[in-house]
């Protein structure tokens, strides 16, 4: 078994044999780089610049029922961009001929939103990991202060330190690092246009 790429779809394909909804499909036709693609993705390793690639629809339900079908699927590629995934060859041809500026703007917007989301996720994770490291280095040291300082000033220093440290629920968790990882897992609401991509 070689490598494959996965195409994630917002609108599912329907298995013509059993009616199952198919949101993700795998293909070996796009360069086999273990990448995740959506409509609008640039297919850097695609052998086709513009055209229609014939694939086969894989239905898990049919396969489990030992009734694997052989339903065709058409990948529409427009200037190396995945412009559509169609089950009807005529629809694929018309999609290839109808890509316009609005499609491009939509894909650009989608890519930029995804980029902002990933940057933000990375920034927050990086910041929390840094705080965790500081916490480990500082946790046994006394709160710094001037000799003869009032309790009130000391308390103010402590709360200032707490302000820049990780949340109590993470610090007090049985497995703080695990809690930190959990905090930064992709959220459900991100799924729509931000399928997590781990391990390229």
Which residues are near Zn ion by CB under 5 A? 15, 17-18, 20, 59, 61-62
Query: Would you tell me how many other CB atoms lie within 10 Å of the CB of residue 27?
Result: 19
Shortest distance, position 19 Cβ to Zn ion, whole Å: 7
Nearer to Zn ion, 52 or 59 (CB): 59
DSSP state of 56: E
Nearer to Zn ion, 17 or 111 (CB): 17
Specify burial of residue 77 (Cβ count, 10 A radius: 0-12, 13-18, 19+): buried
The nearest distance, CB 164 to Zn ion, in angstroms, is 54
**Which residue lies nearer to Zn ion by CB, 63 or 116?**
63
Total residues found in the chain within this entry: 200
With beta carbons less than 8 A apart as the criterion, state whether 92 and 76 touch: yes
Please say which residue, 12 or 196, places its beta carbon nearer to Zn ion.
12
Neighbouring CB atoms inside 10 A of 76's CB total 25
Cα–chain-centroid distance for residue 129? 21
Q: How far is the CB of 70 from Zn ion (least distance, A)?
A: 11
Cα distances from 63 to residues 27, 57, 69, 150, in angstroms, run: 16, 11, 8, 74
Min. distance of Cβ 200 from Zn ion in angstroms? 30
Which helix (H) or strand (E) covers residue 78, if one does?
strand 71-78
Kindly report the backbone phi and psi dihedral angles of residue 156, in degrees, each rounded to the nearest multiple of 5, phi listed first: -65, -40
Q: Which is nearer to Zn ion, 67 or 162 (CB)?
A: 67
């Amino acid at each position: 078994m070689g490598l494959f790429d996965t195409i994630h779809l917002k609108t599912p394909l329907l298995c013509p044999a059993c009616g199952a909804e198919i949101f993700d499909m795998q293909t070996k036709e796009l360069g086999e780089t273990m990448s995740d693609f959506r409509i609008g993705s640039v297919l850097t390793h695609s052998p086709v610049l513009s055209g229609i690639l014939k694939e086969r629809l894989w239905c898990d339900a049919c396969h489990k029922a030992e009734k694997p079908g052989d339903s065709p699927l058409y990948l529409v590629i427009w200037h190396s961009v995945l412009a559509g995934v169609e089950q009807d060859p005529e629809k694929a041809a018309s999609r290839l001929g109808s890509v316009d500026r609005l499609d491009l703007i939509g894909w650009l917007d989608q890519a930029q939103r995804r980029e902002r989301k990933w940057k933000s996720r990375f920034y927050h994770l990086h910041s929390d990991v840094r705080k965790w490291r500081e916490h480990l280095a500082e946790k046994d040291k006394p709160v710094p202060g001037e000799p003869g300082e009032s309790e009130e000033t000391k308390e103010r220093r402590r709360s200032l330190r707490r302000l820049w440290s990780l949340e109590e629920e993470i610090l007090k968790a049985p497995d703080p690092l695990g809690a930190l990882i959990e905090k930064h897992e992709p959220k459900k609401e991100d799924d729509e246009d931000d399928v997590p991509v781990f391990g390229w």
